[in-house]
Amino acid sequence: MKKVYSLSLIMVLALSVFLAACGNKSDNASGGSTSEGKGSSDVKVGMVTDVGGVNDKSFNQSAWEALEKVQSAGGASVKYLQSKSDQDYIPNLNQFVKDGYSLTWGIGFNLADAIKTVAGQNPDAKLAIIDSVVDAPNVKSVTFSENEGSFLVGVVAGKMTKTNKIGFVGGEKSPLIQRFEAGFQAGIKAVNPKAEFIANYAGAFDKPDVGKAAAATMYNEGVDIIFHAAGATGTGVFNEAASRKKSGQQVWVIGVDKDQSLEFGDEVTLTSMIKRVDTAVEKVSQEVIDGTFKGGTETLGLKDDGVGIADTSSKNVPADVLKLVDEYKAKIIAGEVKVPDTVK
Partner 1 sequence: MSKLMKIFTGDSFILSLVAIIMGLILGALVMLIGGYDPFEAYSALITRVYGDSYNFGEAIREMTPLIMTGLAFAFAARTGLFNIGGEGQFLIGMTAASIVGIHVQGLPVYIHAPLAVIAGAVFGGLWAAIAGYLKAARGVNEVISCIMLNWIGLYLSNMIINNFALLEGENRSVNIQPTASIAIGWLSEMMGNARVHWGTVIALLAAVFFYIFMWKTKQGYELRAVGFNQDASKYAGMNVNRNVVKAMFISGAFAGLGGAFTVLGVFGYQSVMASSPGTGFDGIAVALIGMNNPFGIILGSILFGTLTYGSAGMSFSADVPPEIVRIVIGAIIFFIAAQGIVRWVLKPFYAKRKKEKVL
Beta bridge partners of 30: none
Q: How far is the CB of 7 from partner 1 (least distance, A)?
A: 5
Among 12, 72, 74, 87, binds partner 1 (CB under 8 A): 87
Q: How far is the CB of 25 from partner 1 (least distance, A)?
A: 5
Q: Which stretch binds partner 1 (CB under 8 A): 79-87, 265-273, 295-303, 317-325?
A: 79-87
Between the alpha carbon of residue 229 and those of residues 78, 126, 154, 274, the distances in Å are 28, 30, 13, 11
Is residue 38 involved in binding partner 1 (CB under 8 A)? no
The Cβ of residue 337 has, within 10 Å, a number of other Cβ atoms equal to: 17
Q: Which stretch binds partner 1 (CB under 8 A): 2-10, 139-147, 179-187, 279-287?
A: 2-10
Is residue 85 involved in binding partner 1 (CB under 8 A)? yes
In 3-state terms, what secondary structure has residue 330? Answer: helix
Is residue 261 involved in binding partner 1 (CB under 8 A)? no
| Angle at the Cα of 183 from the Cα atoms of 106 and 232, rounded to 5 degrees | 45
In 3-state terms, what secondary structure has residue 309? Answer: strand
- Nearest Cα neighbor of 200 from 181, 225, 176 is 181
Check if the beta carbon of residue 136 is closer than 8 Å to that of residue 119. yes
Give the β-pairing of 307-309 and 269-275. Answer: antiparallel
Among 63, 66, 78, 90, binds partner 1 (CB under 8 A): 90
Is residue 263 involved in binding partner 1 (CB under 8 A)? no
Build a one-symbol-per-residue string for 201-240: x at contacts with partner 1 by CB under 8 A, - elsewhere: --xxxxx---------------------------------
Q: How far is the CB of 294 from partner 1 (least distance, A)?
A: 25
Among 45, 47, 78, 81, binds partner 1 (CB under 8 A): 81
- Nearest Cα neighbor of 317 from 110, 78, 155, 137 is 155
Q: How far is the CB of 141 from partner 1 (least distance, A)?
A: 15
Go through 288-300 and write b for each residue having 16 or more CB atoms within 10 A of its CB, e for each that does not. bbeeebebeebeb
The distance between the two most distant Cα atoms of the chain, rounded to a whole number of Å, is 91
Q: Which stretch binds partner 1 (CB under 8 A): 91-99, 252-260, 268-276, 312-320?
A: 91-99
Is residue 295 involved in binding partner 1 (CB under 8 A)? no
How would DSSP label each residue in 268-298? TEEEEEEE-HHHHHHHHHHHHHHT----EEE
Check if the beta carbon of residue 59 is closer than 8 Å to that of residue 257. yes
Q: Name which of residues 179 to 208 contact partner 1 (CB under 8 A).
A: 203-207
Is residue 25 involved in binding partner 1 (CB under 8 A)? yes
- Output helix, strand, coil percentages for the chain, rounded to the nearest 5: 50, 20, 30
Among 38, 98, 294, 315, binds partner 1 (CB under 8 A): 98
Residues that bind partner 1 (CB under 8 A): 1-7, 9-10, 13-14, 17, 20-25, 28, 32-33, 79, 81-82, 84-88, 90-92, 94-95, 98-99, 109-110, 113, 121, 171-172, 174-175, 203-207
